[in-house]
Chain A
Amino acid sequence: MALTYTSREQIEVYRFSLPVTLIVPLLAVFLQVFLPLRFPFFAIFDLPLLVVIFFAMARRSQVAGLVTGAAIGLLQDSLAGATHPLGLYGIAKTVVGYGASSLGVKLDVESVGTRFLVVIGFDVIHELIYFLIARGMVRLNLHWNWGHELESAFANAILAVFLFALMDRLKDRA
């Protein structure tokens, strides 16, 4: 559970092959729109968010992180229905991508505990940004529910621990 600070020299930067860079986000978005049909409880997870956090922390590049976040977020927006404006997930995930890569530079994000806490934090930040923009700009009548948001954050963090361990196999050392 300990958060370990690392010096620049200790930081390992990873990269991903082109197929992985393209297929994993697409697969995450695909599963996010497909699985809730068969398993309604799955709607509590946000697989694209986990992929953004993982890629951003592994690459440790803020620009790469925000671009990944924006691309995945906009893809998710475009599948969320004609009444859902493009940009809501885009903006939220851009910020998360930037933040996760910034954190990846400063923290050892390889440990399970760190990943768990980081995902909880970014999940709440993501929902908060989404909520503020949806309420403030788009005038959607959303209600903030701390209980639900924390439940969702914990569920995503637990999933992230296993998912990140699986995705570690896709990393190439830069």
Chain B
Amino acid sequence: MGRYRNVSFLAAAIFLQILGLAVQVKSPGENHPARLIRVWAVSTITPFEKGLVRVQNGASDLWHNYFYLRGVRQENRELRDQIEQLQIEQVRMKQDADQAHRLQSLLGFKEQFIARTLAAQVIGSSGSEQSRTVTIDRGSRDGIQPDMAVISATGVVGKVISVLNKSTAQVLLINDQQSGVGTILEQSRLQGVLKGKSSGELVIDKIMPDEEVKPGDRVLTSGGDQIFPKGLIVGTVDKIEKGPEFLQITVKPAAALNRLEEVLIIVKKEERDPTLTSTHVRASDILAERLPSVPDKPPVPTSAGGATTQTHAPQTPHVAHVQPVTASSGIPGQMKSVAVPVPGIAQPASTPVPNATGTAVGTKPANPSSAQASKPAVKQSGTATSKPLQASPAAQPQPSTQPTPSNSGDTPQ
């Protein structure tokens, strides 16, 4: 028996561990003794990690904030320039965002907003190439819960998988094999699930081979996984390989997943209707700005009888002119119809929306004088004309000057 003593010990040790492994595989989850062992282990190691991170950060701050200040003036100047550029860009983007919000509200969409985030310091990793997780210095005391999204300044990082104690939680990175993120390609709007491979690469699969995907396309969260809010940057398409059934799209992560130092945890998301920034905007107003309209026509002399455009819209308001759209929201070169009041004909108030044939559908503003005031370039005549006009911001129909719909005839087209 003494001869096999050591082998017996080995067999017993392996058997016990296999048994434990089988239990974990059979009932995966957070509520078995394995969790207790993890909590003990993490509680033993993390104080040292936190201490070391604090010392490291202190030393780094001391060096960068008090000693190594070379080039700070130059950097400050560059940053100021950058701020100015970003402010200009922000104004433009805000206009686009407002417009998108208006459309979303009209279509009844609900949006998810990041209501509150919490900064956390990354204090440890899994230490294994097979498991890609990191430990952060936030826990139950800070309101952290499993399945909260974790992001960084540059992109999506992962999600909280386990809250180990009051001040420690573990985050599953998006390049782990067991991770899955609902994503959408920005250009092609194709949706797929982003997964990690054992090598640490990120791939999107289950995309049909006949779809067109280009390297460099941005990959955003789709919001379909109910963890990450829609529209966060995940990465860019790195390479595309054709598999037997589907495309294999390799994605380069936007966040530096192997060099994480600080992350943001999304602790509160809100789902609410998009807010409207303007007082009241109708779908027809927005669509009128977006949709193509009657092509440009040469001016018709009024002496010819004025019946040229009557054939287009015998029962509709008269088209005064066709105006090129040059506003940022419009597509250059496309035309937009503007209706003008016709004296003596009572018409309901609405903005005309061009129909498929190019005729103006809808009616004129209720108050002709106000409409005229907002469109000084409109030529008033008893007959309809189609005449190109110099693009003028004042001539663009402004939502705020549009009359409020007053009857069912104002239903958006």
Residues of A within 8 A of B22 (CB): 137
Q: Is B346 an interface residue (CB 8 A)?
A: no
Interface residues of A in 23-37 (CB under 8 A from B): 26, 29-30, 32-34, 36-37
B410 adjacent to chain A (CB < 8 Å) = no
CB distance from A88 to the nearest CB of B (A): 7
Say yes or no: A94 contacts B10, CB within 8 Å: yes
Q: Measured between alpha carbons, how far is A40 from B132 in the docked complex, in Å?
A: 12
For the complex, what is the distance from the CA of A134 to the CA of B18, rounded to whole Å? 11
A:73-116 near B, CB below 8 Å: 74-76, 78-91, 94-95, 98
Give the complex CA separation of A103 and B331 in angstroms. Answer: 77
Interface contact A29-B45, CB-CB below 8 Å: yes
Interface residues of B in 48-86 (CB under 8 A from A): 48-49, 52
Contact (Cβ within 8 A) B258 A36: yes
Q: Which residues of A sit under 8 angstroms from B178, Cβ to Cβ?
A: 83
B134 at the interface (CB under 8 A from A): yes
Complex-state Cα separation, A133 to B49, whole angstroms: 30
Whether the Cβ atoms of A87 and B127 lie closer than 8 Å is no
Which of A8-16, A138-146, A153-161, A163-171 forms part of the interface with chain B?
A: A138-146
Contact yes or no, B13 A140, CB < 8 A: no
Asked if A78 contacts B21 (CB within 8 A), the reply is: no
| Pairwise interchain contact B44-A26, C-beta atoms closer than 8 A | yes
Please determine whether B124 and A98 come into contact, CB atoms closer than 8 angstroms: no
| Minimum distance in angstroms from A66 CB to a CB of chain B | 5
Q: Which of B13, B34, B128 contacts A86 (CB 8 A)?
A: B34
| B383 at interface by CB-CB < 8 Å | no
Say whether B304 faces chain A, with CB atoms less than 8 Å apart. Answer: no
Checking B20, B135, B197 against A33 with a beta-carbon cut-off of 8 angstroms, the contacting residue is: B135
Contact B13 A33 (CB under 8 A): no
Residues of A within 8 A of B161 (CB): 81-83
Indicate if the CB atoms of A83 and B176 lie closer than 8 Å: yes
Are the CB atoms of B260 and A80 closer together than 8 Å? Answer: no
Known: A81-B172, A82-B162, A133-B21. A98 touches B131 (CB 8 A): no
Interface string of B257-285 (1 = CB under 8 A from A): 01111000000000000000000000000
Size category of the A interface is 35 or more
Q: Does B17 count as interface, using CB distance less than 8 angstroms?
A: yes
Which A residues touch B225, using CB under 8 A? none
Q: How far, in angstroms, from A76 to B41 measured CA to CA in the complex?
A: 9
Q: Does B14 contact A (CB under 8 A)?
A: yes
A63 at the binding interface (Cβ < 8 Å): yes
Q: Does B129 contact A (CB under 8 A)?
A: yes
Cα of A43 to Cα of B199 in the assembled complex, Å: 12
Q: Is the CB of B21 within 8 A of A62?
A: no
Does the CB pair B17–A70 fall under 8 Å? Answer: yes
Question: Given known contacts A82-B30, A82-B162, A94-B17, is B42 in contact with A62 (CB within 8 Å)?
Answer: no
Considering residues B48, B125, B133, which has the most beta carbons from chain A within 10 angstroms of its beta carbon?
B125
Of chain B, the residue at the smallest CB distance from A139 is B25
Chain B: which residue is nearest A43 at the CB level? B129
Contacting residues, chain B, for A34 (C-beta < 8 A): 49, 52, 123-125
A88 to B5 Cα, complex, angstroms? 24
Are B42 and A86 neighbours in the complex by a CB distance under 8 Å?
no
Which residues on the B side are within 8 Å of A36 (C-beta)?
125, 127, 258
Q: Distance in Å from the Cβ of A125 to the closest Cβ of chain B?
A: 14
Q: Is B130 a contact of A84 with CB atoms below 8 Å? A: yes
Contact with A along B1-43 (1 / 0, CB 8 A): 0000110011001100110111011000010001101101110
Residues of A in contact with B (beta carbons under 8 Å apart): 26, 29-30, 32-34, 36-37, 40, 43-44, 62-63, 66-67, 70, 74-76, 78-91, 94-95, 98, 130, 133-134, 137-143, 145
Using a CB–CB distance below 8 Å, which chain B residues touch chain A? 5-6, 9-10, 13-14, 17-18, 20-22, 24-25, 30, 34-35, 37-38, 40-42, 44-45, 48-49, 52, 122-135, 161-162, 170, 172, 176-178, 197-199, 258-261
User: 10 closest pairs, A vs B, by CB?
Assistant: A81-B133, A78-B41, A82-B162, A32-B127, A33-B127, A87-B21, A40-B258, A62-B6, A84-B131, A87-B17
Q: List 24 A-B contacts (CB under 8 A).
A: A32-B127, A33-B45, A34-B49, A34-B123, A36-B258, A37-B123, A37-B260, A43-B127, A62-B10, A66-B9, A78-B37, A79-B41, A81-B162, A82-B161, A83-B178, A84-B126, A84-B128, A84-B131, A86-B38, A87-B24, A89-B128, A91-B14, A134-B130, A138-B21
